[in-house]
Structure 1
Amino acid sequence: MAIIHGMADSESNLLDKLPDEVENIKDIDRVKKEFEEKLAKEKSGFFGGIKKWNYKRQISKIENNKNNPLHAGAKGENKVIDELSKLDDSYHVLAGIDVQLARWVTYNGKKNLKSAQLDIIVVSPKGVFAIEVKNWSDNYVKNNQKGLNPYEQTERAGRVLWILLQDVIKGTRVTNVLLSIQGNMSYNQNYRSVFVSRLDRINQFLENRQDSLNEKDVNKIVKNLKRSFIW
């Protein structure tokens, strides 16, 4: 089983908006039900009124965020982490990594790149993989012509990660992967450095790569990346 480090970025951001009792998105329904039961059983009076107010406040936090787009993102990223966990223990899966460079660097001819938040990074003897996860519907993919460019987002994040790793182990390569949960994205020739995969093929894609790192290098890279957890 692969070694999992960290938490999905979308899930971490969503949890910041929810009651402290919600430790992961699977807890949401259970915690809401518990607060509703406490609210129904709480007695009247001054102190009871304060408790009721707090229970209602916590329930509102959940209700107000039930349609938050972070839900879809978190579910998608967690599906990928669950799938990657099926790999053997030579694979390290890091989720929620915020990479910050010491200086601005060039992307597409402009010095406009200094940081990147990466959904998932896989480090193994097969190499380093920067994985951008998209859980987009067919309709959203079709109508997102002027919105976020997932190919550019993947490429930019991979470049930031590659530059960072040159100070860890010079010559380390980073493979950029755009992973479509719903399998509705295809290769884009304008972004030749970005591989496109889907949930049921990602493990095979990783396993079929040639070895490029030894165990010592893998551990060194993982140790350095763990300093960049968002949560």
Structure 2
Amino acid sequence: MSVIELGFLEKCEPWQVESRLFPSKVGGKPAWLDLENLPTSEQLQCKKCQQTMIFLCQIYAPYEDNVHLSLDNYLSNFHRTLFVFVCRNLKCCQRNNSENVKVLRSSLQRDNKFYSYDPPEDIPNPEFSLSKWVKLCNLCGCLSSKQCSKCKNAHYCSRRHQVIDWKEGHKKECGADISVKRHSKVLFPEWEIITEPEETDIKVATEEEELEKFNQLEKEGKTGTMSDVSETDLDAHATTEKDKVFAKFHKKN
């Protein structure tokens, strides 16, 4: 019997998806894990239009099965989060092309300078602020390299995001003694991802088994690029190969 984690989106308060709670979430600004090693705006540029990609989702995925890891490696990767960014320009979204998407992995040892060694309390904490460690873009929440020349309080990852934020509200807020949290139209709606385990009789291959299969295919010369596969072959596979797990999930819902 295998166990599959099912994910569901739930409405949430902003404090419920703060970095200190190690959330899994969709939309809004990224809840960064390692606050000293963030990707630059250049690293988050779409390879097609060169615009900064927008945060899509993140999954808190600590590697709990440490059987195959040394103790040092396990402790240094106690916390692990996967971040997904995507370009919002529809023209950059093309079939079998991932130049408009980027997936990043961030890991952190349990004993670190940002968060408590013990599990955090799931309650609001007004004193928590990422600004203690890093300056983030006022619009998208990514690492900033610029700031508003007038008020010096708002920071930005790019000139484009500064212009958008100015139009969306910073023009009125600039220099005022107020702190306003706005959800930009550039961002995706924010939801918390809640997971629930479900037992299934479908065997789920382990990472080692999948790697062994790949190595065998590589030896047989069957690991060509997508350009080696015709559209006809892809369509035939898509119409004959059934996802039993998804079909079961769809039937229940």
> How high is the TM-score relative to the length of structure 1?
0.25
Larger strand proportion, structure 1 or 2? Answer: 1
Structure number with higher helix proportion? 1
Give TM-score, length-normalised by structure 2: 0.23
- By relative contact order (CA 8 Å, sep 6+), the higher-ranking structure is 2
